Amino acid sequence: MNPTTRATITAVAASVIATTGFLGTRYLAAGVLLVMVGFAVGWPVLARVSRRWVSTSIIGAGSLIALASVVLGRQEPYLRYMVVAVAAIVVAALISEVFFASPPGRAVTAVAATASGGAIAAAGAAWVASSRTPGAEDLVVTGAAALAMAAIASVLTRNATVNTVGALVLAAASGGATGLLFESVTWYGGILVGIAAGVAVVPIAEMYRREPRPHSVWAGIASAVTPVLVAGVLIYLGGRLLIG
């Protein structure tokens, strides 16, 4: 999968988060779940895990538990139960090696890949936590829109430095413009959220640029939606700082 296609998938996934976030928390949860599923299927292929479907099952189940804990939580902070889900993913990754052993010399890699993938997938639940935080609902739309802009800018040229600067500037501008539309965000808050979204895209895009292009479609999808899931935590932190 080439960088342009990957960036397009990132932008589409971010647009799904922005649209469902605008519609409401239950729709946002469905949108996040869709992104999580794509990631859970593709990540083991991208990380070259030998027991692909075992890893996919652990990542998928763990991220679903994390999402459900945030959706059903009754008191803030809504992310406190997500930590338990991440811990469960790590334990499950270790136990799976007892029943579904990897080839000799691959056990540590398999556990690390599954555990890290589960943590990334579970991080997507932070989008819902942001939506449920009183006064921070509009940050979801602001952050996701900036994320889509940053993804597009990250592949505009063949120069990594130009792309990095362009992604950060465009994300900040998008955040500021969107922030003007929402009284709860403000233009300067939107810029901060936009920069956070840009930071989620730029390092991951650079890392994947240095790696061989994934030949599997699912591996490409996983690499594309990784910034979308990771950005959920950054947007949530931005909401806590701006809204409290």
Q: What's the pLDDT tens digit per position in 174-203? A: 888 888 888 777 788 888 888 888 888 888
Is residue 77 predicted with pLDDT exceeding 80?
no
Residue 243, pLDDT > 70, answer no
Mean local confidence (pLDDT), 8-20: 92
pLDDT (average), residues 203-228: 81
DSSP-derived letter for residue 243 is T
Q: Tell me which DSSP letter residue 216 carries.
A: S
Average pLDDT of span 48-53 = 88
Q: What is the mean pLDDT of residues 162-180?
A: 88
Tokens of 84: 């338990």
In 3D, which of 73, 68, 72 has the Cα closest to residue 85? 68
Res 27: pLDDT: 93
Tell me the pLDDT band of 25, cut-offs 50, 70 and 90.
confident
Mean pLDDT of the chain: 86
The pLDDT of residue 214 = 67
Is the model more confident about 30 or about 134?
30
pLDDT of 61 over the 90 cut: yes
Rounded alpha-carbon distances, angstroms, from residue 206 to 3, 37, 203, 209, 227: 10, 24, 5, 5, 12
| Tokens 């949108």 sit on residue | 31
Where on the phi/psi map is residue 105: left (φ > 0), alpha (ψ -120 to 50), or beta?
A: left
pLDDT at position 73, please?
79
Number of domains in the chain: 1
Residue 127 above 80 pLDDT?
yes
Tell me the whole-structure pTM to 2 decimals: 0.88
Q: Which domain holds residue 118?
A: 3-242
pLDDT at 242 over 70: no
